[in-house]
Amino acid sequence: MIEFEHVGKTFRDGTAAVVDLSLQVPSGKITTIVGPSGCGKTTTLRMVNRMIEPSTGRITWDDKPLRSQRKTTLRRQMGYVIQSGGLFPHRTVVDNIGTVPGLLGWSRSKTQKRSLELLDAVGLDRKQADRYPAQLSGGQQQRVGVARALAADPLVMLMDEPFSAVDPVVRGELQDFFLELQRQISKTIILITHDIEEAIKLGDQVAILRVGGHLAQVGTPQQLLDEPADPFVEGFVGRDRGYRSLAFQPASSLDLDGVPVVRDVAAASAEGPTLVVDGDARPVGWVLPGEPGRTTALGSTFDVESGTLRNALDAVLTSPVGLAVGVVPGTGRYAGVVSTETILAGVHQARARQVESVTVRPEAGADAADAGTGLAHDDEAAPGHDHRGWSAPPADASAGQDEHGTAELGDESGQDVDADAFGPDAGADGSRTGDDDGGPDSDVEGTAVRAPLAADPVQHEAALVADESAGPERPDGPERLDDAEQPDDARQPDDTDVRR
């Protein structure tokens, strides 16, 4: 688990980007961080791979403070994906994917093999291996970006708006592909987005930030929809949250009814609606009473095993006869129908189960439920989501500190750390490495980067080699922060190697 403990970041110009953030990121799950522009999402993400150092508080990974670990060690275990994939335009797809293995000194054949396997894993044709990024669609570039981040099999994936540069249809496909991939690889993922729909669709856990870098609420998608902590969250998750929360209730709980079914339209009953199926028993349309011999469009259907109440409700709303047609997964064969009343009964039952699960788990606590932060109602997790065993800190993110997040906090060494201690020219934040708050592009451009889109991954990956020649492993102790920054600084010119 990665844990933010009262983390704050105040940049040297006084901007408080993140304020007293306490958040637990469970291993093997997707945590999405969402919020309006400028609320501190990217800053939060970049503190995890130490491209930005917190001004206050600390971040731990499996109880070990990040600051006690070398950037090399950290970043080798973290893949990094940004908008548009962050690909090197002058490198082929296969060479882009092999960037990190190459930096880690893998042999050419091993790197090539791994890169091609990853091409398969992200659903790209091997014929695209020798293309350049500009010869790919936006969606394909994003897939390569994901493959590139996965190349060295990292434990953690940091993803900054990875799917935002493509149209909504491709975006939906990428999200589906990504969820499927995650089911297989179970990485610990932090994904930044400004799109609440995306956050809710992808996140096992969703953290909503408000402008000023405060955590507004963290919880499962369903908790956020059902119990928004305050008007800001309520407004952010949207007015149709009740409807959208149906996406977290399985349709498998619905009792299916039957209707007359025919293969031959001419055999349809004149009395009531008749469902027409094809030779494989897959529904194709309805014959309505009074319209013999004519098939009317089916509307949408729902999967009776993995579908949700939202799918079922949509199917009922699009049905010409007010009946949602359920189909068997895989074959698409007709399974049964449900009416609006049955779906609403399913909604009531789901709510009752939720209340029950809260009642029988007093340790989850009314406080956590009221604050809307505790992952207390895990038993009602969405299909495909398993939230058990998580806990989350209180939502009151602003307690005990000033507006700049400069409240003094003890660090792991027992020393006091505050934002002012990292003033303009002080070591940890004052260093102009391109890793930190000097502005992502300015530093990198200063070292002749030819690929502006790739700036962040360059910074992330540069440390993989920069620290490599810095001698034996020497964790950056908190008491030696200034020194700890030096190896990266000193070797910044070498970063140009990375981009050749």
Residue 288 near residue 230 (C-beta atoms within 8 A) = no
Min CB(237)–ligand ATP separation in Å: 17
Residue 17 to residue 46: CA distance in whole angstroms: 12
Q: What is the dihedral of CA 111, 117, 123, 127, to 10 degrees?
A: 70
Q: Does 432 bind ligand ATP (CB under 6 A)?
A: no
User: Which residue, 40 or 154, has its beta carbon nearer to ligand ATP?
Assistant: 40
Min CB(46)–ligand ATP separation in Å: 8
User: Which residue, 204 or 429, has its beta carbon nearer to ligand ATP?
Assistant: 429
- 12-51 mask for ligand ATP (x: CB under 6 A)? -x-x-x-----------------x-xxxxxxx--------
Min CB(484)–ligand ATP separation in Å: 20
Q: Name which position in 53, 435, 437, 476 contacts ligand ATP (CB under 6 A).
A: 437
- Helix count and strand count (H, E) for the chain: 19, 18
Burial 377-413 (b: 16+ CB within 10 A, else e): bbebbbeebebeebebbebebeeebeebbbbebebbe
Pick from 227, 175, 220: nearest CA to 31: 220
Min CB(459)–ligand ATP separation in Å: 13
Min CB(18)–ligand ATP separation in Å: 7
Min CB(12)–ligand ATP separation in Å: 7
Min CB(181)–ligand ATP separation in Å: 24
User: Which residue, 198 or 303, has its beta carbon nearer to ligand ATP?
Assistant: 198
Phi, psi (deg, nearest 5) at residue 332 = 75, 15
Residue 24 to residue 190: CA distance in whole angstroms: 11
User: Which residue, 31 or 42, has its beta carbon nearer to ligand ATP?
Assistant: 42
Q: How many CB atoms lie within 10 A of CB 66?
A: 20
Which runs of E-coded beta strand occur in 259-404?
261-262, 274-277, 283-287, 301-303, 323-327, 334-339
User: Which residue, 40 or 372, has its beta carbon nearer to ligand ATP?
Assistant: 40
| Cα 67 versus chain centre, distance | 24
What percent of the residues of the chain are helix, what percent strand, and what percent coil, each to the nearest 5?
40, 20, 40
User: Which residue, 194 or 333, has its beta carbon nearer to ligand ATP?
Assistant: 194
Min CB(500)–ligand ATP separation in Å: 28
User: Which residue, 47 or 124, has its beta carbon nearer to ligand ATP?
Assistant: 47
- 326-355 mask for ligand ATP (x: CB under 6 A)? ------------------------------
User: Which residue, 17 or 304, has its beta carbon nearer to ligand ATP?
Assistant: 17
* Assigned token pair, 212: 């000023």
- 173-212 mask for ligand ATP (x: CB under 6 A)? ---------------------x------------------
Interior CA angle at 120 toward 119 and 125, to 5°?
A: 75
User: Which residue, 161 or 204, has its beta carbon nearer to ligand ATP?
Assistant: 161
Residue-level length of the chain:
500
- Please name the residues in contact with 387: beta carbons below 8 A apart, sequence gap of 6 or more: 29, 204, 205, 220, 375, 378, 381
User: Which residue, 193 or 311, has its beta carbon nearer to ligand ATP?
Assistant: 193
Q: Name which position in 235, 410, 439, 446 contacts ligand ATP (CB under 6 A).
A: 439
Number of residues in contact with ligand ATP under rule CB under 6 A: 15
Min CB(350)–ligand ATP separation in Å: 34
3-state class of 148 per DSSP?
Answer: helix
User: Which residue, 17 or 324, has its beta carbon nearer to ligand ATP?
Assistant: 17
Min CB(176)–ligand ATP separation in Å: 24
Q: How many CB atoms lie within 10 A of CB 348?
A: 9
- Write the single-letter amino acid at 371: A
Alpha helix ranges (H) inside 203-269: 221-226, 231-237, 241-244
Min CB(465)–ligand ATP separation in Å: 24
Phi, psi (deg, nearest 5) at residue 46 = -75, -10
Q: Name which position in 11, 163, 177, 302 contacts ligand ATP (CB under 6 A).
A: 11
Interface residues toward ligand ATP, by CB under 6 A: 11, 13, 15, 17, 35, 37-43, 194, 437, 439
